[in-house]
A and B are shown apart, each in its own frame.
Chain A
Amino acid sequence: MQNIYFPLDWFFITLIFFSGAYCMIVSKNIIKLLIGFEIISKASIIAIITSGYLISNINLAQSIIIVMILVEAVVIATGLALVVKSYRINKTIDITKLSNMKG
């Protein structure tokens, strides 16, 4: 078991999570926001696999991670499609100027 190392894992997970949250809060660029989302989901992937290892149930953690990666890919693909559409209409990828998207 990895009981001794778990606080160290948790320290890195928290660091990655807060880096992603900082990226999402500070930036107004939509692509940067999506990158922040990706970083947060990576932190949660590490949290899931670490907890699965801790309770010696690694296969359940793997199945959850596979589902999560797929959700992540779909969200990123749809978000980037919206970014490209927004750029074609507004000529900007600033999130504060997305109010022009209608229909």
Chain B
Amino acid sequence: MILYVLIYLVIIVGVVGAVISKKLLNSAIMLAIASIGISLLLFGYSAPWAAVFELSVCAGLITVLFISAVSLVKNEEDTTKEKQIKYSIFPLIMSAVVILSSIFIPEYFEKLSSYANTTQNGNELKIGDIIWSIRGIDVIAQIMLLAGGVFAIKHIFSYVKKQEE
């Protein structure tokens, strides 16, 4: 229990640091710290595959992407004004959501547990079986999404190159 709260504190520190930090580079690094905390949490919930994906993609790849983008658009920090006082109602909404959800959500999930049942003869299915047989359509969607992203990025940069010529 204490370990979980400590991991959550690491995540909260990373997230709040990423939000309030003025420098974009610091924001990206704090986001990586939050990602590492989330991957530890996933390991704690005995979800090693998701934890490894989170650690390698979110804490690794996305941080590298953010840092390279920040280095390409340098000297752009603190140029935009922020209206922070206007949104001070956020904590009130948040506390209302917390109180209401802590009352209603557990009952809802108990009701939901009968629908999302992927057990077979009393044993839970392996993650490979779930990915390839039950949610096989997701794999096709992932491939299409990756292809779409690659084509979008290729088109964006080829257009810039043509314009520079």
Listed in ascending order, the chain A residues whose CB lies under 8 Å from chain B are 3, 5-8, 10-12, 14-16, 18-23, 25-29, 31-32, 34-36, 38-39, 42, 45-46, 49-67, 69-78, 80-85, 87-89, 92-94, 103
Contacts and interface: CB of A to CB of B under 8 A. Distances in A.
Interface string B132-147: 0011001001100110
A71 to B, nearest CB: 6
B65 A80 contact: yes
The secondary-structure label for the interface of chain B is helix
Given A49-B41, A55-B109, A94-B79, A31 B135 contact: no
Contacts of B134: 60, 63
Chain A interface, DSSP helix/strand/loop, else mixed = helix
For the side of the interface on B, what is the size category?
Answer: 35 or more
Contact of B112 (A14, A20, A39, A55): A55
Given A54-B109, A65-B42, A80-B69, 18 more contacts: A6-B106, A12-B12, A15-B12, A21-B90, A23-B18, A28-B81, A31-B27, A31-B70, A39-B18, A42-B35, A45-B38, A45-B42, A55-B109, A65-B50, A74-B148, A88-B160, A89-B160, A93-B76
A19 B15 contact: yes
A61 B130 CA distance: 10
B79 A92 contact: yes
B50 A32 contact: no
A33 to B, nearest CB: 11
Given A60-B118, A65-B53, A85-B160, A35 B18 contact: yes
B133 to A, nearest CB: 11
